[in-house]
Chains A and B, each alone.
Chain A
């Protein structure tokens, strides 16, 4: 019986879960050009091609383990001389005592393989005909470009709408308030008061005018950023940072700034604008510090993000520089974190002009990036900025003909 089984025209081998070959039949040995004792006790990898080894680990073994059996699995065995033998396998995994044994029976399928290859080739040809239809590809490219254009336009329209709303609020409220005060105080002056009271009123008028001046110069900076042309270059971050720090130290004497940086990547941008961005962010960290010391950590590294920001279902992952700036200051209630980038939003009274973060947002927008802020009250604030690694291509659209890939060409 054993003899007949050995000679039966089927390839038989059994293996343990760790891949050790337990039994093989004569037919398998003959086909693969091995002696029995060259195989039993060895790892089954010896008779698998590399592709089959991967497939065995990622599909075949999990299937056997989970279901206990697998049918009509196509694999390629490797002969001793390296030649490949296409085989169709049925397998079952059973417990023999307390060890699991997987039994495999295979038949050689040279002809079926040819037939299948022809089938697959025909199918691919049909697919190719579809994909290589130049008109179709052209149309798809056009569509791609249009979607990108549309995406940028949607961004622009949204942005402009928001700005318009903010400006109307500024004009109707933030500017009217100091004007109302000016009118009130000067009215009181005209009514006539004692010298002391007059001095107090003039001082208040001075203070309100200074505030207005400050608001207007913030607005001026903001408006300048609207159409300032971007001058993109590699940014030497350490130099940029030290000039920002110098400026802050002059502005806030007596405050100790401790900045820890972890720079994994260079990045590019408009030096003047990026410097302004860091100036506003770091000056926030200084102004909303605890005590006299400011601890800031800045981490820069590269991540991939979807370039499409508004179009649903469109994806193109491109390199971005992620900049994380964390301080240990007084923080704020995170409920306000999305409103803070609006013009003249102030959480801390008297704290500033309410224009710093709006300017930061404008600058990241100019670079086709994004900015977000998060905080915990009394623990500190984290600002996260993403800037595209290639600002110019983000600005001009990014798909070229050679870059456009049909599914068949992927990965080759």
Chain B
């Protein structure tokens, strides 16, 4: 018997509402990163969390180098889930690169989606001519190098029996579950698919209403990128947050929740 998509992508469905609200994690983490946000929505929506294949507790054996060398392969994960759960009118919330993955999915199968909420999105991370994505190729090579070094360090950690830390007995367990500890090869491929992606030409292809949550002082998705996105993405609303950094849903969950609620209320 073949495993279901829900098993493959470690899909979690909960909440008391009927309208689906799907949260998609970004590069580097897994669905756990949404834990500060979901309590604010679970009374009114059906919450759907998942891990992309290769991340978190997904089925790593389903990883396919060919498929996941492009963001399209990740978008297919989302579409597979939408199909299996038979979703309609979904509110999609994507962090970072997942904003563009969600956009690709919505362009391909618009019938699943009602609104797209993008947290710290960027259609293109690399500088090209007049476009300022924020990075040069060598910066990304440096990131790949940093990631590689860290996996060497972590490799020894991953087996709990050699932890030997009596003060923190749960440490071993936590680390094996560590939401950032994906397989180095998979992480590298995801980083490449993410940071070398260029989705600027896809922006005009959907009219599904969207909210862009732009952080102040976000080095990964700077304000200039947010403005570019807003200008080129039809029916988008741009909100610049007080939150700084790239993870407002973790650093400033209250502000993130209230902006999302305000948007959903306005739009409804």
Query: Which residues in A have some Cβ–Cβ distance to B below 8 Å?
Result: 17-19, 43, 45, 49-55, 57-59, 61-63, 65-67, 71-76, 88, 113, 116, 119-120, 264, 301-306, 313-317, 322, 407, 410-411
**Pair A76/B73 contact, Cβ less than 8 Å:** no
Which DSSP category, helix, strand, loop or mixed, fits chain B's interface? helix
Known pairs A19-B245, A317-B73, A410-B189; A66 contacts B143 (CB<8 A): no
A113 neighbours in B (Cβ, 8 Å): 149
- Give Cα A302–Cα B199 distance, bound, in whole angstroms: 12
Within 8 A of A (CB), among B114-171: 135, 139-143, 145-150, 152-154, 157
Chain A residues with CB under 8 A of B185 = 407
Known contacts A51-B141, A58-B246, A76-B146, then 11 further A-B pairs from the complex at CB < 8 Å, ordered by chain A residue: A51-B139, A51-B140, A57-B247, A58-B26, A59-B150, A61-B247, A73-B150, A304-B72, A306-B67, A306-B76, A314-B66
Chain B residues whose CB sits within 8 angstroms of the CB of A66 once the complex forms: 32-33, 35, 179, 250
Of B107, B205, B246, the contact of A57 (CB 8 Å cutoff): B246
25 contacts between A and B (CB under 8 A): A18-B243, A18-B251, A19-B245, A50-B135, A50-B142, A52-B146, A54-B140, A55-B147, A59-B180, A62-B28, A62-B250, A63-B178, A63-B179, A66-B179, A72-B153, A72-B154, A72-B157, A75-B146, A88-B153, A116-B149, A120-B148, A301-B205, A315-B64, A317-B72, A410-B192
Instruction: A373 to B251: give the CA distance in the assembly, Å.
Output: 46
Residues of A within 8 A of B85 (CB): none
B205 proximity list for chain A (CB < 8 A): 264, 301-303
B contact residues around A55 at 8 Å (CB) = 143, 146-147, 150
Q: Which among A19, A59, A76, A305 is the interface contact of B142 at CB below 8 angstroms?
A: A76
A315 touches B146 (CB 8 A): no
Q: How far is the CA of A119 from the CA of B148 in the complex (A)?
A: 11
**Residues in A whose Cβ lies below 8 Å from that of B104:** 303-304
CB distance from B31 to the nearest CB of A (A): 11
Q: Could you say which residues of chain B place their CB within 8 Å of the CB of A76?
A: 142, 146
- Find B70's partner among A45, A54, A63, A304 (CB 8 Å cutoff): A304
State the Cβ distance, B261 to closest chain A Cβ, in Å: 22
Q: In the assembly, what is the distance between CA of A88 and CA of B152, in Å?
A: 12
Provide the residues of chain A in CB contact with B42, threshold 8 Å: none
